[in-house]
Amino acid sequence: MTVSPCDTIDGAVRKISVPTKSGQYTVSIGSGILDSLAKRMPALAAKDRKLIFLLTSPEIWSLWGQRFRASLAPRQPIVLFLPAGERYKRLSQVERLATEMAKAGADRSSLLIAFGGGVVGDVGGFLSAIYMRGIDYIQVPTTLLAQVDSSVGGKTGANLQTGKNLVGCFYPPQEVVADIELLSTLPQRELRAGVYESIKAGLIRDAALFRFIETHREQIDRRDPASLEKMVAASIRIKAEVVGLDERESGVRMILNFGHTIGHAIEAASGYRALLHGEAIAWGMIAATAISRKRNLLTAEAVRRIEAMIRYFGPPAFPPISGKRLLQAASGDKKNRAGVRRFVLLQGLGNAVVTDDVTDAEILAAIECIRPLSGSGK
């Protein structure tokens, strides 16, 4: 977890650059940087930039809006609202928001700032991608999950009645500003849901990050800013490296889906109600770890450490879903290509491998082996 060549430290702010096909963008990470947004966002000052729109949810705006406004002054954004919740990540909302922008005079020079969790980020990115065939946008993620995962990588989109994230596009932001202080108002369950994605980042590519979370788990759980900042920066660096190598998820980016085949199946089979995304991924990672162990890719000690770490953050009980139902849901995962199920396994801590030969029997066995662990978290 050392500072890589693409990281720079500017005062108290870490900067990570994310390469894309069309150039690159910067992720700034720090505590309290919400108060210096104008300085952090060169894209705000672009020539001919007339209108700035800000997409957020009423809850987030009531908590942080005043500081946000003060930070942008004298410029003021036109604020657009998306109600909180996954059920509003819909095309109908994208259309409503685009209409509001058009009525307010948005043109191609307009900029949109997505200020919220992954839902606001995904909808804001998609809206920016399609409004007048594409306007600039900036991500200011407010949940841990959005900071360590969804705000970086340029995936945008919305859900359909028939499934999550079925419409969308790759559309990178101009900038990402991740302020750790924003996490101070996050409900504990949401914080932990984000920690699981950081654990994932460590497991697939950075054993030192895994070790850091292991040794700082108490500090992270009580939101010690320095520990959170290190974890967020290291997680973003992994995401940046991986998406830099494979922007459109045709190869190595698949490793980011560690724990997600079974995690998505748990979410889908329980109607997206029982667990938060990160919590389902926590169980998915434990199952994928069990399969890796059965294939002798992981030592018993590594398995013990992974399970202990995930269970420290206490994901809620594994929902009562039959193995058969989970398998059905796993077959419908959109990461499958031409009927082949891509499955990410671990070959040691910090090293992931993508396979396409994990059998139904292996998945069923892994699920049965994790059920007894359920509910015994912290």
Q: Which of 149, 175, 179, 333 binds ligand NAD (CB under 6 A)?
A: 149
Instruction: Catalytic residue, from 181, 190, 197, 279: name it.
Output: 197
Rounded distance between C-alpha atoms, residue 140 and residue 118, angstroms: 10
Stretch that binds ligand NAD, among 73-81, 145-153, 297-305, 351-359 (CB under 6 A): 145-153
Q: Which of 205, 237, 253, 341 is the catalytic position? A: 253
Task: Give the C-alpha separation, 283 to 376, whole Å.
Answer: 12
Question: Which of these segments, 35-43, 113-121, 215-223, 293-301, binds ligand NAD (CB under 6 A)?
Answer: 113-121
Using CB under 6 A, which of the segments 40-48, 54-62, 329-337, 349-357 binds ligand NAD? 54-62
Count of residues touching ligand NAD (by CB under 6 A): 29
Q: Compute the distance between CA of residue 171 and CA of residue 61 in angstroms, rounded to an integer.
A: 25
**Residue 266 in contact with residue 177, Cβ under 8 Å?**
no
Catalytic annotation, pick one of 89, 230, 239, 341: 239
For the bound state, the minimum distance from the C-beta of residue 215 to ligand NAD, rounded and expressed in Å, comes to: 25
Residue ranges of E strands in the chain: 7-10, 13-20, 23-30, 52-56, 78-81, 111-116, 136-141, 155-160, 163-170, 175-179, 343-346, 352-355
Q: How far is the CB of 242 from ligand NAD (least distance, A)?
A: 11
Length of the chain: 378
118 is a contact residue toward ligand NAD (CB under 6 A) = yes
Please answer whether residues 270 and 342 qualify as being in contact, where contact means their C-beta atoms are separated by less than 8 angstroms. Answer: no
| Known active-site residue 296 | no
Q: What angle do CA 123, 129, 131 make, to 5 degrees?
A: 95
CA angle centred on 169, ends 21 and 261, rounded to 5°: 105
Three-point CA angle 350, 353, 357, nearest 5°: 150
Does 253 help bind ligand NAD (rule: CB under 6 A)? no
Quick check: is 216 catalytic?
Answer: no
**Residue 207 contacts ligand NAD per CB under 6 A:** no
Is 150 a residue that touches ligand NAD (CB under 6 A)?
Answer: yes
Q: Which residue has its beta carbon closest to ligand NAD? A: 118
Report the C-alpha gap between 152 and 27 in whole angstroms: 8
CB 178 within 8 A of CB 151: yes
- Choosing from 40, 89, 237, 260, the catalytic residue is 260
Residue type, 32: G
Instruction: Examine residue 185 and tell whether it contacts ligand NAD (CB under 6 A).
Output: yes
Cα 201 to chain centroid, rounded: 11
Which residues, 295 to 354, sit near ligand NAD by CB under 6 A?
A: none
From candidates 63, 79, 317, 369, binder to ligand NAD by CB under 6 A: 63
Is 218 annotated as catalytic?
no
CA 291 – CA 325 distance, rounded (Å): 19
Provide the minimum distance between the beta carbon of 241 and ligand NAD in the complex, in angstroms, as a whole number: 15
| Residue 89 touches ligand NAD, criterion: CB under 6 A | yes
Given 82, 101, 113, 117, the residue binding ligand NAD (CB under 6 A): 117
* Contact with ligand NAD (CB under 6 A) among 190, 229, 279, 333: 190
Contact 279, 193 (CB under 8 A): yes
Catalytic residue check, 257: yes
Q: Does 277 bind ligand NAD (CB under 6 A)?
A: yes
Q: Alpha-carbon distance 25 to 37, whole Å?
A: 16
What is the Cα–Cα distance from 176 to 187, expressed in whole angstroms?
A: 22
Interface region with ligand NAD, contact rule CB under 6 A, candidates 1-9, 143-151, 305-313, 361-369 = 143-151
Neighbours of 22 (CB within 10 A): 9
- Segment near ligand NAD (CB under 6 A); pick from 58-66, 201-209, 264-272, 311-319: 58-66
Binding site for ligand NAD (CB under 6 A): 57, 59-60, 63, 84, 86, 89, 116-120, 122, 142-143, 145-146, 149-150, 153, 155, 164-165, 182, 185-186, 190, 193, 277
Indicate which residues carry an active-site annotation: 133, 155, 197, 239, 249, 253, 257, 260, 264, 277
